Amino acid sequence: MSSHPDQSQTGQPGALRQALHRLSVPTLLFGTVVLLASMTLSCVLTPDRFPVQVAGTVLRIGDLAQERRLLLEQQALLIDERREFRRRDDAPTLGMIRRLRRERPAVGTTWQHVLLALAEASAGGTRWSQDGVAYHQGVLQIEGDVRDLGGRSIQALAGIVDILRIVPGVRAVREPTYTTEPDPDGGSRSPATLHLTFDHADT
């Protein structure tokens, strides 16, 4: 009562309360209608039905989520199927062969690429000539010399080393000792021993 001094003083409802009384029916109707409408909307307008625009295409959120779910299910099924193929172990020998084959360096192919690179390096006044070749446990050792009519055999040798570094199957090329000496046929020559480590080499 202390919060309503006008009522305690007059003993009858105040003007505000009379106004609320007059508004009660319309407000109740309004509140009920709005509540029912919002509840209906929450049922009808679920977020999945809202469209989104992706890359110029309008799609419903629900469709996207459903497609993603289907794709994930399909992916899981395919992975299971592949796993089943492997678990069945119908081909133990083929599996073993595949594993052993992948663990070894491709010596013939890489040597072919190295020979091709060395042949391409012999251009113009530069010539690579080979004295010996040996391969042991992933490392190819080539002995030879570079001759350059212009007297720039060391540069030519450095160029060859750079070319060999990008040959497919070659993991590393050890820097050779760079020396130069006059070539009796003119220009200079740089004898060198090249060590090339192949991919998948043990060393």
Partner 1 sequence: MRILEQCRAQARSVSLAVMSGTLGFWVGMLFAFVACGIMIAIGRSVAARRDAALTVALELPFLRSSVAVLEAATHAERLFVETSLTSHEELAAAYVLPVGSSASRLVASLDDIADALAQRGVSVRIHRVDSGPASQPNDEGVVTAPITLTISTDDRTAARFLEIVELGSSMLVRDALEPMAERALLSALDASAPGALPAAARFLATDLLDYAAQPDVVEGRMFADVPSDIADRLRALLLRHGLGSVRSALGDIAPMIRATHAWPLPLVRVESFVREGDRLTIVLTAFSRART
- Choosing from 6, 35, 129, 181, the residue that interacts with partner 1 (CB under 8 A) is 35
Strand-pair partners of 53: 58
Phi, psi of 171 (to 5 degrees): -85, -35
Site track 13-32 with partner 1 (rule: CB under 8 A), x = hit = x---xx-xx-xxxxxxxxxx
Phi, psi of 20 (to 5 degrees): -65, -40
Q: Which is nearer to partner 1, 102 or 184 (CB)?
A: 102
* 27/64 Cα distance (integer angstroms): 42
Interface stretch with partner 1, choices 82-90, 120-128, 156-164, 173-181 (CB under 8 A): 82-90
- Choosing from 5, 6, 50, 186, the residue that interacts with partner 1 (CB under 8 A) is 50
Q: In the bound complex, what is the minimum distance in angstroms from residue 181's beta carbon to partner 1? A: 24
- Choosing from 52, 123, 166, 172, the residue that interacts with partner 1 (CB under 8 A) is 52
Please list the alpha-helical segments (H only) found in 103-174: 107-121, 153-165
109 binds partner 1, rule: CB under 8 A: yes
Per DSSP, 105 falls in state -
* Residues numbered 171-200 forming contacts with partner 1, rule: CB under 8 A: none
Q: Which is nearer to partner 1, 86 or 182 (CB)?
A: 86
The tokens 């010539």 sit on which residue? 127
108 binds partner 1, rule: CB under 8 A: yes
* Residues numbered 136-165 forming contacts with partner 1, rule: CB under 8 A: 136-137
- Extract the runs of DSSP E, i.e. beta strands, from 31-82: 51-54, 57-60
Of 176, 143, 179, whose CA–CA distance to 161 is shortest?
A: 176
